[in-house]
Amino acid sequence: MLRSNEEAYILGLWCADGYHRTSSFGLSNINLALIKRFRKYLLSVMPKERLRLRVYIPLRCHGEVPTDLKEMCDKISYLKVRKAAHIAYQIYVNSRPMLRNFRELRKNSGKLSETKIIPYLAGRFDGDGSVGKDFRRDMRIVYSNSEEAENDKNLLAKIRNYKTKIYYYKNAKTYCLYVSRYDTKNFFREISLFSSILKSLCPVETVSVV
């Protein structure tokens, strides 16, 4: 059971860009702001000494490694990688119970309560979403399988009857959930209450989530 809107957001973010192994639970992303937000959640449920951070640095590094990483985590590993264009981060903890819990939450995300759907989808968007430059078209979330795309399509229909479509891109082997341009403005406003990406791109007037 999700305890808060923030935990629902973290679930969506983890579903999009989550790192998980046999007993490891975490997030991989090139956006340090998302890494820091995920870290804040981890610190709300366990001590700082449990956290681990990996920093993947391209051989031809574009940009500087932030200097405040030591404040985030006591145990940091730096790895040089060949095939990468940007610095990437992976924050995680070794916790079988947490991994098991989030896998179960992901499995049952179709049963989310209505109040948790928007923050969950905001996390999904921050991890694997995009929108056109005018913030009115091409609002989409990318998925690696049709089941999760259909699941989130049904969630949107459940709360607001948003018009959506799912497209399969054969070359990329991905499924994209598109929100109709007639509904993009309202969807944008709703998830911007929780989305770190949208707040940084274009602060908008927010609306209450019913």
More confident residue, 40 or 203: 40
The mean pLDDT value of the chain amounts to 89
User: Could you confirm whether domain 109-201 is CATH 3.10.28.10?
Assistant: yes
Per-residue model confidence as pLDDT tens digits over 90-141? 999 999 999 999 999 999 999 999 999 999 999 999 999 998 887 777 899 9
What strands lie across the sheet with 76-81, from one edge to the other?
18-20, 24-29, 88-94, 52-58, 76-81
Topology (CATH) of 5-104: Endonuclease I-creI (3.10.28)
Say whether 109-201 and 5-104 share the same fold: yes
Q: Judge whether residue 23 has pLDDT over 80.
A: yes
Q: Is 72 helix (H, G, I), strand (E, B) or coil?
A: helix
In the chain, domain spans: 5-104, 109-201
Rounded-to-integer distance, Cα 27 and Cα 94, Å = 12
Read off the pTM. Answer: 0.91
Per-residue model confidence as pLDDT tens digits over 106-120? 999 999 999 999 999
